[in-house]
A and B are shown apart, each in its own frame.
Chain A
Amino acid sequence: KAGVTQTPRYLIKTRGQQVTLSCSPISGHRSVSWYQQTPGQGLQFLFEYFSETQRNKGNFPGRFSGRQFSNSRSEMNVSTLELGDSALYLCASSLVAGVSTDTQYFGPGTRLTVL
């Protein structure tokens, strides 16, 4: 099976712009979660989607949003970019949601740089 894919892998934007990141989960996986990784804050949970519904959201401002499509692919959007949004954004997929022992498989990440 192909792993989790994320596009694009690298992105450079300027302050005030918006960006959309894409994640394709492993075939058959229905849950997608997003994480932000920065040197200062480490790895932080953004949100989780299952069956096109947001199930859980981390402590991030409303500028961060996401959605999931019927084929389980997910996108996250960040509007009005700030310098502090520069980070590695990681997507993870798993078979189902709400099962805490279900392994999450991470993609390679999208490196976002905001200038």
Chain B
Amino acid sequence: SQQGEEDPQALSIQEGENATMNCSYKTSINNLQWYRQNSGRGLVHLILIRSNEREKHSGRLRVTLDTSKKSSSLLITASRAADTASYFCATVPPFSGSARQLTFGSGTQLTVLP
């Protein structure tokens, strides 16, 4: 079963604009990760944020995490047409017995128009 929902389900913006995607999850986590998937292909790991972190940056990506609200957001600044893809959040539970298992959200389809 999926951990939670992503919002919006689809987002269409112009090149150069910023894109913000939100992820909500249901249970406690060790960390939350964001992945990108281009048109039914493999997933690419973007960034990982630990449960004791509130914000993390990587290039044009900014991720925030609010564990009290069980939510995270991914901001892509100065978007490019090449950013067009589906974006998924995935959570890892806090206990080592299932530490490897990623539980994915439903994804946001981002379209960046040239």
Contact = CB atoms under 8 A, between A and B. Distances in A.
B40 to A, nearest CB: 6
Give the secondary structure class of A's interface: strand
Contacts of A48: 100-101
A56 B104 contact: no
Interface of B: 1-2, 30-31, 35, 40-45, 48, 50, 88, 90, 92-93, 96-107
A34 B22 CA distance: 26
A55 B1 contact: no
A98 to B, nearest CB: 5
A43 B42 CA distance: 11
Given A101-B31, A108-B41, A111-B40, 15 more contacts: A33-B100, A41-B2, A44-B2, A45-B101, A56-B97, A58-B101, A88-B40, A100-B31, A100-B93, A103-B48, A105-B45, A106-B43, A107-B42, A109-B40, A109-B41
Interface of A: 4, 31, 33, 35, 41-45, 48, 55-56, 58-59, 88, 90, 92, 94, 97-101, 103-109, 111
A56 B93 CA distance: 13
B100 A108 contact: no
A47 to B, nearest CB: 9
Contact of A97 (B40, B50, B100): B100
B42 A90 contact: yes
Nearest to B51: A100
A42 B2 contact: yes
